[in-house]
Structure 1
Amino acid sequence: MEPAHRVEIHDLRHAFASWSIQNGGDLYELATLLGHANRLSTSKQIRDVRRY
């Protein structure tokens, strides 16, 4: 049986970012940890998480 979705490194990065923000993580610290030069990249990645 094949998995419904193959997990890629991008999925793990997104999960880490989402969990970090959901648990009170700081956006600027998260951007640094992810290696984003532009903080806007990080805020776009997590915008869907903040709705829930």
Structure 2
Amino acid sequence: MIRADRAGLRALAVHLLALSEPDGPTYYHAHLDPGEIDDESMPLILDHSD
């Protein structure tokens, strides 16, 4: 399940697009903490490895 407002969905899209690039990282781990995107954002953890 993904729960986010518009700002959160845009931030997620930016991260996912970067991970989809051919020269993207083989490992990626990021935390977007509450309030990092906007004042009411929820926490998000992204973890990717090939």
Higher strand share: 2
Considering the TM-score relative to the shorter chain, is it more than 0.5?
Answer: no
TM-score w.r.t. structure 2 length?
Answer: 0.38
TM-score w.r.t. structure 1 length?
Answer: 0.37
Structure ID, larger Rg: 1
